[in-house]
Structure 1
Amino acid sequence: MNDLASYVDHTLLDISAIPSDIERLCREAVEYGFASVCIHPWHIAQASHLLKFEKPKVCSVIGFPSGATLAEVKMIEAMRTIEKGAQELDMVVNVGALKAGDIKSFLNDILLTVEGADGVPVKAIIETGLLTDDQKKQACELAVKAGASFVKTCTGFSCGFATVEDIALMRTVVGGSVGVKASGGIKSYSQAVELIEAGASRLGTSSSIKLIKESIGG
């Protein structure tokens, strides 16, 4: 697959990351042609400056990693990270609300983030490892209803990881107008290809360079 890099959000969500780590991440994103760098809000201003005239986008996580912050807080976080230069947002949904059957709160949580994003693409992380198949379907349907641009499997900080089965299910639910991001445990080129073939339009991984090197036989 010659265009694998264009699928990849080059990810660094280590809470101990320092500015030199972000500088390296951005340099790698430009060198390999990754879709974006995915980082914590604190690093957005730096990455935005480094990538100002480059192709990779700057993606911030929101409500990360639990998704249990107040919906209004996620909205403000979305607004502030965009002010700092974020061009995409990966927000963690309120999984507890969904599992409790509080659909109004679950939907409102995503709606407020989308409102705060004001047109910037929002990827709703549904934490597939915590949900039944029916709940995964419901989460995807509600995320689309709320205006999310993508649905995403996992944070990588909870249980579960991206599977071909989950990607296929999510793609079936959202159809072709919404993106599907596979994230969590993507460590090999063959796994990446399987996920893309199952319907993933974006991959989130911290093993980005390893995947690219494997793709060219390195």
Structure 2
Amino acid sequence: MLIHVNDLEITEAGAGMGMHPFNLFVPTNQLVATTEPRHVVVARCTCGESGCGSTEARITRLGMAVHWDWYVDPPLGHGVSFDAAQYDAEVERIGNDRSWQRPADTAARLVIEAVDRERFIPAGMELSWAAVDHQDPRKFLVALFVKDEQFQVFLRFPIGDQAPERLADDVLRTLHQPPRSWRAAFHSMTVGRRGRPSMAGRRWRSEDPWG
């Protein structure tokens, strides 16, 4: 996503590359300005990873103005201010524009917006992301994180030619089932560690990256 401020495209001038709209608008619009400052990554390294390099905006509403201040890789030597009414109208417009969504993006948005996150708490899990599997674009990947046990858990679903709404329904139906019933993969986030997550069922298999 490209962002222009006074005719300057700031994502290239900053870290080098705009964020995918998904990262800014799902599940909520990150660009909405409130009186409580929020920090939003608006640009990333040209390798595609924000962890490699990023431009962060601190967005704050003060009276009739919205202010952006820069952190890390600043595109300008100073912050910028916007008329609050104009800013709100534009942020609402782009937040409601879903023309950028591919079918898999639509499925991911529906899953992230509708998933019952409370169901994962007893198992100590939290949802990390949902998207096309970058290793196999024919699959839709849901990733979860087991914080206390330091495992990542992956569920994969065939995409095929089904509508994104049906794919999302299939994913949500599976996530509604007890984790032990899932057909899932996992790997440890601790180098050299062996073992399985405590909630793993018999159809869980290891994808140990440490060999």
TM-score (norm 2): 0.23
Computing the radius of gyration over CA atoms, which structure comes out larger, 1 or 2?
2
Instruction: Considering fraction of residues, name the structure with more helix.
Output: 1
More strand by share: 2
Q: Which has the higher contact order (CA 8 A, sep 6+)?
A: 1
